[in-house]
Amino acid sequence: DTGVSQNPRHKITKRGQNVTFRCDPISEHNRLYWYRQTLGQGPEFLTYFQNEAQLEKSRLLSDRFSAERPKGSFSTLEIQRTEQGDSAMYLCASSFGTDLSSTDTQYFGPGTRLTVL
């Protein structure tokens, strides 16, 4: 399978714990995106990378959230001191593009469902 993969698929944690999710993009894709989707809503943009550079961050990404893409391949999203409001599906997508003003087609992974108790 050469699609976007995410691990783990499900994570249950207690409030106050730290969690880390991983995303592996399609291998030739240079751009990687994180979105959050709460139940019954559409996904909301969190952040995006081109290669290893983080180019944009949403206001939704509080200082408890940090994302990295150290070698321009896989990415991790860490949430520190989790809160119940962090419970959501965290989606990763990837694309290939060279022009910052153009819109690429984004391919989504299956998501990581986080439940904070």
Partner 1 sequence: GNSVTQMEGPVTLSEEAFLTINCTYTATGYPSLFWYVQYPGEGLQLLLKATKADDKGSNKGFEATYRKETTSFHLEKGSVQVSDSAVYFCVEAAGNKLTFGGGTRVLVKP
Residue 2 binds partner 1, judged by CB under 8 A: no
Residue 107 touching partner 1 (CB under 8 A): yes
User: Smallest distance, Å, CB 115 to partner 1?
Assistant: 18
Candidates 60, 66, 34, 59; CA nearest to 47 is 34
Q: How far is CA 103 from CA 47, 61, 97, 98, 107, in A?
A: 15, 22, 8, 10, 13
The only residue of 7, 26, 44, 87 in contact with partner 1, by rule CB under 8 A: 44
Which one among 1, 2, 28, 42 touches partner 1, defined by CB under 8 A? Answer: 42
Distance of CA 9 to the CA centre of its chain: 13
Query: Considering the complex, what minimum distance in angstroms separates the CB of residue 10 from partner 1?
Result: 13
